[in-house]
Structure formats: C-alpha cells, structure tokens
Structure 1
C-alpha cells in the first residue's frame, strides 16, 4: 500500500487530487475564502465555532440527564436504546451526504442546512406527545447535529495545517470542561421549576441559530471579498435547464450512493435493536428480511461507487458507457482511500472504540448507578460525565504534544492500552460492594485513554487524504463512529432487553413478579422500592449481572482497537501535503500543498497572532 512504501507521502500526491480541475465547487470556494480571510473574519469565525460548540455541548449534557425521564414519561424507559440506535443510524448516513453538500455547494450552504434541521428537530421533540413522535424527531435533530459536528471539523481542517490541526480540532470539545458539571444541574432545575422536560428541549431551537450568526456573517462577507478579488469559483452544478440541473445534482452529489448507503445502514441497524421486542425475536420474518436486504444493498454499494471508474478503465462503449459516466464520477466514498493502511486501520479502530463505549459508559451505566449504587440523578450524571471531562483534558494535552513533536501514532497505541485497561477494571469493580472511588478512577482512566486515541486517530485519517478528499475522509471517519455507536447501542439494547426482564422474573419475590414489566419499563418504578427490601435486592442483582455481561463484551471489543493502533503509519506531519491551500492557522500553504517558509510575523501563525487588518 502507498503509505507503507512512502510513509510521508499521502495517496493524493500520487493520484493527482491536487489538480484544480478535479476539485468540486465547494472546495474551490473554501480555498478562495482562505485566501481572502481578514484578521477580524477569522477571529469571528472561530469565536462562533467555539460558541456553537458550547451550546451543543451544554445541550447534550442537559438532554442526556433527562432522557430516561422523557422515555419513562411515555411509559417506555427501555426505548432509550432504540432512540440511541435511531440517532446512530441517522448519524451514520448523514455525514457523507453532508460532506458532499459542503464539497458541491459550499461550507456556508451546508452549515445553513444543518442549523435548520437541528432547529426543526428540537421544535418537534419539545412538542411530542408520545415516544414515537419523539423518536421521529430524532431524524431531524440527529441530521442537523451530526451535520454541524462534521462541518465544524471540516472547517477546522480547511483553515489549519496538519501540525496545528489536532490542537484546533479539540476546540469543539473544550466546553465539556464546563458543561460536564453544570448540565445535570440545569436539567434538574428545569424539571423542578417547570415540572416538565419540554422547555429543556425547546430553548435550543432559539439559542443555537443565534450562536451560528457570527460564523454565517464571516463566511458570507469573505465570499463577497473573494468575488471582489476575482478568485471565487464559478458554480456549475445549478447552471443550465431544470433537467440538466437534476442530472448535475445526481452526478455531483452521488445520489445513487447516498440512497444505497442510507438504506443499507437503516435496514441492518434498526432491526438489531428491536428484534428482542418482536414476536419470534431474531426469527421474525420482518427482521430477517430487513437485514438480508440491507446486507445486499451494502454489497451493491461499492460496486456502484466503482462503476464510473470501471467503465473508463475497461473502455466500455456505447449506451452503457454514457450511463456509467453519470453513475458515480464523484463517489461518496473515495475508494482509493481504502487502499491506505492508515485510513483503514483508523476507521476500524474508531468503530470498535465506540462499540465498546456504548457497551460500558453509555447508555445503561447511568441507570446502573442509580439503581445498584443508589445514587441520585445529579451524582450519577457527574460520574458518567467524568469520561467526557477526562477525555477532553487528555485530548488537549496530547494535541499540544503532537504540535511539538509532529508525530501522532504512539499516542494512539498508548491510548488504546489505557482504554482497554480502564474497561477491564470497570468490570472488576462493577459490584454494589465495590468502592465508589474505584468506579470514578476507572472512568478517569477510560476517558484519558479515549482522549489519547480519538483526536490523533482522526488526524492520521485526515493526513492520509488529499485536499479533494479531506472532507470525505473526515466524513467517513465520523460515519464509522456513528456505525460503531449504533452497533454498540443495538448490542447493549438487545442484552439489556433480554437480560433484565428474564432476571427480574427469576429473582423477584413471587408476589412482585407481576410488576416485572413495569419495573423494566420505568426506572422510577425500580427506584420506588426501598434499598434493602427483597424487591430492590432482586432489581439490583438483575441490573448488576446484566451490566457484567455488557462489560465483558466491551472488553472483548478492545482487541481490534489495540491491533489497529499498531498498524497506523507514523507520519511526520510537517513534511506532508497539508490538505489545504491558502493562508491558514499555522502558516501559508502553496499550490503544491506544501508549507511555505514561515516568516516572523506570518499573519496566520498563532505564535505571532494575526496581523492582517
């Protein structure tokens, strides 16, 4: 593979991705903007990125602390896992299309679409009258929040060189240092003051659009500046007659690939979490049919993505050649990236990382703490958020070290080892008699290991892509995160959905067995039994044993993480093609993708700060 033979050269160097003729309009537009940045514009843009990150981080902490009560208010606490899977499926299928929208139409347009979907999602959630409406609203919310997340990372990749990228990519994570500790307080305060969770959802439909306005203003003004300088690209996708525009959209967005990928993920992942609740379980005909069709579509997907390239390579003639010319000339998944050892290893690693995460730290660890450890809502939330806090601190520290050393690989290896060790210790201390400080220590260790491998792995994946594919590579990396999350949620939901009812039926006193369904479906019913009563002992035992099963599976998922971390290439970041052009954080990038000599006072070197007026 290419990164084995030339460890400091990206695949893009060999494939000619730096050729402007191969760039789509949105990429050309951000390159033009990067050459037109002013001091004020770039400061305002990053201020807005940080502000939106704070809003979404706080929103996540508030909502997570209330989710079990929302679903319990609909008498369906067990739907927590299903909602997480719905989110995971939408998250998985939205990222590549959103990256495509950003590449074809521009970063500004993609940001606007994401903000609109996010706002609509929260409006629908705040007004939902049942769990089905609430779950349906997750489609809009997940699409918007996921789009916003990837676009923030793409924007940072557009405006930084590789040596600064790891540090700057932690910017959206910085708010976790604060919001981790105040989210549950705000959520609890809203519940107490209003008696309802609805305002805790509805207020974000107002706050986030306001936080987005500075970035929107900065992008719009610098687009105008680029046009005045004569460097803005001509937008071709929406030119011509209506039929021609439709053909352009099909070709440039790879609509066929989007449909195949979205359908395959939905048909495979959703049945995985609801199978246990359906008559016949995994033997249910609908479940088997959906998974089978999804698997077939997933096999067809790469064939579709290779179709245009296949036609050109083998000289297909006639009508078929014309058809293949418009199938996937701009594939959703750049297939040459899959030949990169670093790209493949990074994507596999992060997939199993999040499978393990959703089997351990989230979503049922919170319920375990409240039922087995008898912690109140605020204390349980604090413990579950230790991971976010410690991983954020860890990622910042490691990113600074990466900036100084220009290396990333061995931080991934060490992080994978610490993550595995933390999960192993978490399994050891899962009993109700173990020290609470030991559980807290496990969360710190897991979080520190996660922070050490997450950001550097993303950096390695981005380093393996050229400028044409940096958004696609970022999207694919974040997509497999969602796939891992969905798979982890599906497994945890299946284990929890099968384990808890069976164990409650086995352990509850005879007189209380009739309440097993109510106890399983509503956490407030489980908490209503006093500690020390036969019912509460049976409930705690059921939760504890099921949690042990989840943690055992999570530890097994760490083996591929350790293996893939070793297979990633140890790039020398300052000697590679940077994947951007123009003036960015860290220096000026030439047309060849290489950094120019950084002179004292360079306006885009954060060491000397901004000088351009």
Structure 2
C-alpha cells in the first residue's frame, strides 16, 4: 500500500511541476499574465476550507469514499482547463481542481500518520506481524520518503512542458487526467478492499459515525447533522472573508483603482465577514473548523505560525511572477527559467531524508526548526541581490537552495513535533490545521506578490520605460514584452528588477518574524515504545528530564494502538 501512496504522490508532483512551468505561457496567451496570481489565490483560499472538511468527512464516511471523490474532482478539473477558451473558464477549472487537490493532499499524510496506516499494515501482512512504520520517531523519515518521488519530476516535467508548449498547450492539462487515473486506480481499489475487509473483521470503527437513529429521520435532519459536523457556516464565512479581502489586492487596478466603489465595498464586506466568522466560531459553532483551544500544548499554534510565515515567503517569491520575471529579464525559455527555480525544490525534497535520519538518532526536532528559521532570514536576504537581471545564474540557484533548506528544516520537524504534542486521536485534526495554515499563507503570499506587481509596476514603467507604450499588453503577455524595442525593453527590465527587490525586502522581514515565532516552541525527545499484542489503547507517558536540562525537554512515549485480539 505504501508503494501505491508513493505512486499517487509522484503523479501529484508531476502535475504540479508540469502545470507550474506551463502557467506563465498559458496566461500570456489569454492576455492575463499580470493577474495570474488569481489562480493560485483562488486555489489556496478554497484549500483553506476544503482540507479540514475532507479530514472530517474521511473520519465520518471512510478514507476510501473521501479519496475516490477527490480523485474524480481532480480529473474533471483538468478536462475543464484543457477545454478552456478564456481565462474565466481556466479559473472555473481551478475551482474544481481545489476540490480534488485538497482531498488528495490532506488524506495522504492522514493515511501515513493516522490509524488507517496501521489498519493497512494489518491487512497487507494478513495480521501475522505488526510493523509500525509510522511511529513518531520514524515519521519524519517516512513523510520525506512519501514526497521523494518529486525529485523525478523536477526536471523531467519541465522538459515535457516545454515540448507540450511547442505543440498544443491543451495537452498540458489533458494528459494529467490520464496520469492521475492510472496511478490512483491501484490505491483506490486497495482502500476499498481493505475497508471492506476491516468492516467484516470489526477492525474499523468510526468514532464520528452517524447514529443509527438519525438515518431513520428525514433527509433534512441528516443534512443538518452533516452541516454541523463540517461547520458549514464557518467554512462559508471563512472562504467569503478571504475572497473579499485578498482578491481586491490583486484586482484593484482592474476595478478602477483603490478608490473605486467596487474595491472599497469588497474590502469592507470582507472585514464584516471576518467579524461574523470570529463571532460564529467563538459563540455558535458546535464543532469549530479550527479548534485551537482544545490542546494544552501551544506547540501546534506556534508551529503552524512558523510554517505559515515560511509559506508566505515561498508563495510570494517563487510562484507565478518569478518565472515571468526570469523569462522577461533574461530572455529565457519556460524550461530554462524553471530549472533556475528548481534549486529550492531539489533541496526541499532531498534534505528531509537527512533531517529525518538525524531526528531518528537524536530524538530531537526543535533544534532543526531553529536552523531552518535562521536560513529563512539568510535565503531571502540573498535573493535581493541575486534577483537582478545582471546577476549570475548560479547566484539565483544558491539563494534558492538556501531557502529550500530553510523550508525543509522547518516543515518536517514541525509537522512531527505538533503531531507528538497532541493526543493520538487528534493527529488528523492537527494535520488539517497544518494544511489550513499553509493554504491561508499561500493565498496571502500570492496576494502580496500580485498586489506589488500590479500596484507598483505602473509607476515604475512611467519612470523607466521611454516613449509611448501599452502597459496592459506588456504585463499581460511575455512575448509582447520581449518584442519591444531595445530601449523600452531595458526599461521594463529595470522596472521588474525594482519590483522583485521590494518583494525580497518584504520576504526578509517575514523571515525574521518566523525566527521569533520559533523561539516559544517547547522541545521534547521523541521516544517510541512499542506495546505488545494485548495493548488496546495508545497512551502518552510524559516524563521530564532532570532539572539540569536547560531546554526542559519532555520525553513523549507513544505506545502503538493495537486491537485486543489480532485475527488469525
């Protein structure tokens, strides 16, 4: 089953790598390159709500059902985008894609770290031997291994995307449907088979199952129960608030400027929606979408905040506009520009294997977070001089590698640390909280980039681009910008350099905040003590070290959950 998970992971990273390389060129074809950040913002906002919903739905209905639904949405979305005739249709496909991608993204780690992973093992080995491959000590290593197939796609997908652009860009979206169907079919089939066998042997118990009496009531009663379980009202308010606040920051110039009635009205409505959201979550929601107050440890809150800030930097500096910047200022192909950016991805994929190995042998996770937080300041700091049209390509790669190391040192240890800081029954919730944090951060990061790009560039063009020019065409289409007379083209390059430098300064400030946010994290040693066959409950035994320990480390001992009797 782990091989099937890795296969789906490979397919998802292939899609991400290929579409990432395709997006600037495709948005240029639709004359919408300057607002391409809307695509990522829409996706990130929807992920914010959909990921915790999928987490809860998977607990209520089953992993197999939730995974199947998400894969269907995933494939349908790419059919829509492959048939798109305008940018609005592309955004519509992205909305559908959010429903599919969110499910596959959040359910993967749940299958690895939750009870379903142990259930899979029981069935795969026919209940003869118990092997817990996802204990807390080894979890970082396994999560790194789960994402390692990305390395295959980092360069191959970019090369494939370049060839697709030279023939028919629509196949860039269409082929993803085929790839996802072929790679996900074995996993879905296996999940359904295991889930059926588990129900037959009474191994699978759904704690949030709908009471039998409820099924005998009206359809309206069942719908109301489901809405309460997934906090539908809170989800709608959260989504609306993010859309109303973030989209105007990107589209203000298209709506007539910051003083237009549409922009002001949208921002005010967004503020009001956020107030309603807070009131609802605090006073009305039976099961809040983000249950921050349910744990004694503050590690989940601080850990998610650190990851949140790092994700803002990543999405602000590396998505959408960075490839456009490279292609315009250095006259690079989509493939070459993507290769320069890949220093981040290669480091982020390979380094976690080393980090996981060190965590396994040192039983510590917090020191690695501090190392990453230091790199989170250094990396963006180097990006300021590196992202200049006259700098060497190697300088760009070095800055990308350092920030990739920052993300690797932070994300994996924090994910393990916050899982170990909560009761085992809340692992799925804390993973969803982690994913919500990164999703909100992604929407904020792309919004900052889009806002800077669309708000500052008009003034920079007036200052640096001589003669008469058509601003809209330059920022909407890469090919049009490259075809400008040399003097005007050089002015565009200077304007892009200044805009990118400003983003770098903002990134350094956010990196400093992430370092400060990592300081309150409470460290502990990761110790896994496997129980015997009669163990029926996963206990957390907390012991403090001697008073001489400066960090006041906490030893958390996890006894793996096993059924009272293993079927023969």
Q: TM-score with structure 2 length normalisation?
A: 0.87
The whole-number CA distance in structure 1 between the counterparts of 2:458 and 2:269 is: 31
User: Counterpart in 2 of 1:15?
Assistant: none
Q: 2:137 aligns with which of 138, 156, 163?
A: 163
* CA distances 1:90-143 after superposition (whole Å, capped 9, x unpaired): 122211111121122121121112111111111110001000110111011122
Which structure 1 residue ranges, 5 or more long, are not aligned?
1-44, 308-326, 604-611
- 1:296 and 2:272 are equivalent in the alignment: yes
Retained in 2: the 8 A contact 1:276–1:494? Answer: no
* CA distances 1:419-464 after superposition (whole Å, capped 9, x unpaired): 2101101112232222222221111111112111111112222222
User: Counterpart in 1 of 2:517?
Assistant: 564
Say what the alpha-carbon RMSD is for the aligned residues. 2.6
User: Counterpart in 2 of 1:247?
Assistant: 224
Residues 197 and 337 of structure 1, relative CA distance in 2, 3 Å threshold: farther
The whole-number CA distance in structure 2 between the counterparts of 1:255 and 1:91 is: 14
User: Counterpart in 2 of 1:259?
Assistant: 236
- 1:414 and 2:371 are equivalent in the alignment: yes
Residues 292 and 226 of structure 1, relative CA distance in 2, 3 Å threshold: same
User: Counterpart in 2 of 1:365?
Assistant: 322
* CA distances 1:210-267 after superposition (whole Å, capped 9, x unpaired): 2122222222222222222233337425722223312321232222222222222222
User: Counterpart in 2 of 1:442?
Assistant: 399
Deviates more, 1:539-548 or 1:298-307: 298-307
- 1:213 and 2:213 are equivalent in the alignment: no
What secondary structure, in the 3-state scheme, does the structure 1 residue paired with 2:537 have? coil
Q: 2:151 aligns with which of 177, 184, 187?
A: 177
Q: 1:63 aligns with which of 19, 22, 41?
A: 19
Residues 296 and 172 of structure 1, relative CA distance in 2, 3 Å threshold: farther
The whole-number CA distance in structure 1 between the counterparts of 2:532 and 2:383 is: 47
- 1:537 and 2:490 are equivalent in the alignment: yes
What secondary structure, in the 3-state scheme, does the structure 2 residue paired with 1:232 have? coil
The whole-number CA distance in structure 1 between the counterparts of 2:380 and 2:270 is: 32
The whole-number CA distance in structure 2 between the counterparts of 1:390 and 1:487 is: 24
User: Counterpart in 1 of 2:356?
Assistant: 399
Aligned-residue offset at 1:63: 0.8
Retained in 2: the 8 A contact 1:582–1:590? Answer: no
Aligned-residue offset at 1:306: 4.0
The whole-number CA distance in structure 2 between the counterparts of 1:596 and 1:352 is: 30
- 1:546 and 2:503 are equivalent in the alignment: no
Structure 2 counterparts to residues 6-155 of structure 1, below 5 A: 45-155=1-111
Retained in 1: the 8 A contact 2:313–2:511? Answer: yes
Residues 130 and 253 of structure 1, relative CA distance in 2, 3 Å threshold: same
Q: 1:508 aligns with which of 465, 471, 475?
A: 465
User: Counterpart in 2 of 1:19?
Assistant: none
What secondary structure, in the 3-state scheme, does the structure 2 residue paired with 1:557 have? helix
The whole-number CA distance in structure 2 between the counterparts of 1:596 and 1:460 is: 13
User: Counterpart in 1 of 2:164?
Assistant: 190
User: Counterpart in 2 of 1:455?
Assistant: 412
The whole-number CA distance in structure 1 between the counterparts of 2:172 and 2:46 is: 22
What secondary structure, in the 3-state scheme, does the structure 1 residue paired with 2:258 have? helix
Retained in 1: the 8 A contact 2:461–2:495? Answer: yes
Aligned-residue offset at 1:87: 1.6
Residues 240 and 500 of structure 1, relative CA distance in 2, 3 Å threshold: same
Corresponding residue pairs, total? 526
Retained in 1: the 8 A contact 2:295–2:422? Answer: no
Retained in 1: the 8 A contact 2:376–2:407? Answer: yes
Aligned-residue offset at 1:407: 1.4
Aligned-residue offset at 1:384: 0.9
User: Counterpart in 1 of 2:120?
Assistant: none
Residues 105 and 597 of structure 1, relative CA distance in 2, 3 Å threshold: closer
User: Counterpart in 1 of 2:196?
Assistant: 224
Retained in 1: the 8 A contact 2:22–2:334? Answer: no
The whole-number CA distance in structure 2 between the counterparts of 1:505 and 1:582 is: 73
Q: TM-score with structure 1 length normalisation?
A: 0.81
The whole-number CA distance in structure 1 between the counterparts of 2:245 and 2:4 is: 37
The whole-number CA distance in structure 1 between the counterparts of 2:139 and 2:267 is: 39
Q: 1:592 aligns with which of 522, 538, 547?
A: 538
